[in-house]
Amino acid sequence: MQHFQRMNTIVGWLVFLIATTVYWLTLEPTASFWDCGEFIACSYKLEVPHPPGAPFFLLFNRLFSFLAAGDVYKVAYYINLSSALASGFTILFLFWSISMLALKLLPAERRQAPSAADTLLVIGASSIGALAYAFSDSFWFSAVEAEVYAMSSFFTAFVIWAMLKWERESDVQKAQRWLLLIAYMVGLSIGVHILNLVCLPALALIYYYKKQQEKQAAPTLWGALWAMAIGGAIILAIIVFIIPGLPELAGKFEIFFVNSLGLPFNSGLIFFSLLLLGGLVWALVFSLRKQKHALHLALLMLTLVLIGYGSYGIVLIRAQFNPPINENAPSDAIRIVSYLKREQYGDRPLLYGPVFTARPIRSEKVAPLYRKDEAQGKYVIYDYKEKYIYNKNMLFPRIYSREGNHGRVYRQILGLREGEEPTFADNIAFLLKHQIGHMYFRYFMWNFAGRESDIQNAGFLAPWDSNQDLPELLAKNKGRNQYYSLPLLLGILGLFFAYGRNRQVFYFTLLLFFFMGIALVLYLNSPPVEPRERDYIYVGSFYAFAMWIGFGVMALADLVGSFLKNKQLQAALATVLCLPVPGIMAAEGWDDHDRSDRYFQIDIAKNILNSCAPNAILFTAGDNDTFPLWYVQEVEGFRTDVRVCNLSLFATDWYISQMKRQVYESAPLPISMEEKDFAAGVNEQVIVTPAPQLGETQAKALYEKGVDLNTFFKLLQENHPVVRVPNPEYGQAIAILPSNKVYLKLNLNPEKVKNWLPAGKAEDLPAQMEWTLPTGQFFKNSLAVLNVIATNNANGWERPIYFAPTLGSSDYMGLEPYLQVEGFAYRLTPIKLGAAGDLFVNTDIMYETMMQKTFWRNLDRPDIHYNEDYRRFVLIARNAFARLAEQLIMEGKKDKAQKVLLESLRLMPDASVPYDVYSVQYIQLLLLVDETTKAKEIAEVMARRAKEEIEYALRQQDLYSNNLMANLYTLNHIVQVFEQYKLPEATQYKQWLQKYEGLLQ
């Protein structure tokens, strides 16, 4: 056994070294897209990210940021490195977990003293299983970026390993130490991500099996079910009674002490904390004195869970200091509850609720919502939580979402006609087809069979799928990974082997696989549309399957034993035969997981900021056009004079308050509204309608004439009845805007604007701005934007105001004619410059920005993989260059336009980022600047690819995809341009297009 332990330790660390080295070599050097930019910024300065915060993750990565030794450009690299190390340790503990389970699959007489052959077999199986997981698609993706999933996987792997160590420990006191360690790690994991908790029912099964063994009693089905139920109850206790429950109870104490007893703020919170601490101490002493060992152990474990959970104290502490990133501002007992419950994201029905065709018939007030009122010295009710009663509900609702186009997608997936009501059978069909089939099984097959591409909603590959007869871009997609289903087959073989050799091991691993996979599918109840792939959620399930892959090596050795009697040769041959499995996974996955020289996500953030004038205000919307900006400002200190204002967050009182504060070099936003005007529950929605208080004639006249925004905000702040409509149901009036036409009397000095307006425009400024709002209602974020514009105008246009190019059309509030393109941001101007639907391009400013103030590191390198998220931003960049070139041509500046086009093609060549649908406009632009050869080259490539993509879509019977329409548009546009310029290639391209004329109808 000593020989086995020594080899197990040495090879385990060797596997750790292999995995960690791979992650280190493929590590992203800076902040990735999505949440990574926010997490790195918040780790570096201990700020408050989006709920539920991941405080332990931030604290841990704050330590790693010190490794940068003051070099802000290395901070992201070292924080990413912490994910690589966490992932490497995950593989280490997986190796040791497989080896402990694999020993149980040996004949009983050989488990305590494995022979040299057994040692070789178990070590080989553990290595193959651990390395297969190390190079699996989803786990590798999280291992090289600063997201919570790598560290969450580490905690999961650790507690599973620790539970297996507890099971092997015969000394009662030593065994209890393992349980206490597990409890503490579970508590710490709450400060990272709660996915770790899902493995608890499987760990409870191990506990049950060992206790039955100690009693020398056989496990029973009912006993196992009870054990799993207790494990599930522990999960519920943590996610319901501990994580939000304790702060919620503390909040009730706080409201009672402050509102009823008249004590200062935080007095109830302090009393509750002392009460909880005192109660725990008393209970521990009581259980110890009374020799109630089981109770004492349970209380100790609860205490350690709470100590680990105590990392959330940093959220309260840091929120009170109002850092620049302070999402939800959870600085008191009331706000922290909402933060921990993730209330801003809404909830999803699980057991009973409405379907997507249901309509609310009434609402019920459920519970009061409080906010802190410093002036009154108490917490005041500003609104009530509402529960809507729907006309159509269903048990176990899976087709529930009524957001956006979700109803249309439900109907498309289920084959329902418009107006047709879904049945319970449709509900279950959606669960099986989409939630399990598309959103879990597809991800599972990505990791163990192969992945079609990195394009969203890509399928998996069967062993017989090849690159023949595929479109060029799909065949060459670096995200196309073919594993020939070898990991899948080996894992299935291991599953049956475990079932035949040791049912306890089989049921334990099966529970891990189920609870961290299908059970999560049922709990998360995903909507039909997601902004990105969610495969990282289910890596715990893939972790369990990797154990079966390891067992598959043992099964293969057993099969080899039918013709090879030497046990050591059996083990060696099985290991050698299975080594290609992780080898193929590593080789196939390397090119699309290697991020070692990728910087574009940060460079485009800098380009957006550099498109803004000094001291600007920049309105953004989504994660990928906000979090990278936060990162470069908070960590690298780049363009901190620009105030980035996220419109999604601008709908909240806490964010508007933050925008009214100085941050770094950025002065407060010009917001005239006071806290009473944007407090939670106030002015949440504004209806555009004639003012009924004025009478029909006068209200109609005002509606047609339009409303002065300054007057509107003055009346709104006075709570004037002209801009309010009574609403008895809610107890307060609803804000209205008496016309969809608004105007502002301009207040600015022409000398201050002539350097950034087109030549001659500043000398002939109009008396006012006037525009039409494109909607009949808008929300608080749009109201706040209008207030910023109005107040900034009153201040003489002191601050430049910009909108990001990634915003939705409604976010521009009908201001498109007043927007001027200056690069990767659109500047608000006091005069109408653009035609309807077409923004004006200031070529003087934009040329300087695009040619001299932008960053494009390594975007021209074909060996670097730019996945779909990155390609979307390249599309925006190419469109910006094309827009500038087109305007330069219209102004007769062909030489400059030629330089712009050629520079764009040099910076973003097809070899590194293939031409997209916007690239087709380059063809005519190049012809206009006499670059005919280059135009023909691009046209030939794009037309050929379009033809390949269309043919492929026809073979796949995919006749309604956006990709098909885009390629038809591309081919049609090329034909029109080539015919216009009488180029001989037009004949061939037209012949191609004529084959698909029916699709263009």
What is the per-residue DSSP string for 392-422?
Answer: -EEES-SS---STTHHHHHHHHHTPPTTPPP
Where helices occur in 862-961 by DSSP H, the ranges are 868-890, 894-907, 921-928, 932-955
> What residue spans of 616-718 are helical by DSSP H?
627-634, 653-659, 675-678, 696-705, 709-717
Give pLDDT, residue 655: 95
> Two tokens at 966?
């885009």
User: Which residues does 613 contact at the CB level (< 8 Å), separation at least 6?
Assistant: 756, 800, 822, 827
3-state SS, residue 52? coil
Name 280's Cβ contacts closer than 8 Å, sequence gap at least 6. Answer: 299, 302, 303, 306
- Measure the CA–CA gap between 401 and 529, rounded to whole angstroms: 10
Residue 230: per-residue pLDDT? 94
Is residue 450 left, alpha or beta, with left meaning phi > 0 and alpha meaning psi from -120 to 50?
left
Query: Structure pTM?
Result: 0.94
- Inter-residue contact 70 to 134 (CB < 8 Å): no
| Enclosing H/E stretch for 708 | strand 707-708
Task: Provide the residue count of the chain.
Answer: 1001
The strand pair at 617-620 and 481-482 is best described as unpaired
Listed as ranges, residues in the chain with pLDDT below 70 are 727-732, 835-837, 959-960, 998-1001
| Cα separation, 764 vs 753, whole angstroms | 12
Q: What is the pLDDT of residue 728?
A: 55
pLDDT for residue 848? 96
Surface-to-core class of residue 405, CB atoms within 10 Å of its CB (0-12 exposed, 13-18 middle, 19+ buried):
exposed
Q: How far apart are CA 925 and CA 899, in angstroms?
A: 12
Instruction: Give the span between the Cα atoms of 688 and 782, in whole angstroms.
Output: 13
Query: To which residue do tokens 């910023």 refer?
Result: 788
Please state, in angstroms and rounded to a whole number, the distance separating the CA atoms of residues 796 and 826: 19
Cα 403 to chain centroid, rounded: 18
As beta bridge partners, residue 686 has: 735, 778
Per-residue tokens: 225 = 């079910």
Task: Give rounded-to-5 percent helix, strand, coil for the chain.
Answer: 60, 10, 30
All structural domains of the chain with their residue ranges: 600-843, 868-1000
Q: CB count, 10 Å around CB of 696? A: 9
Q: What's the one-letter identity of residue 282?
A: W
Six token digits for residue 285: 């002493």
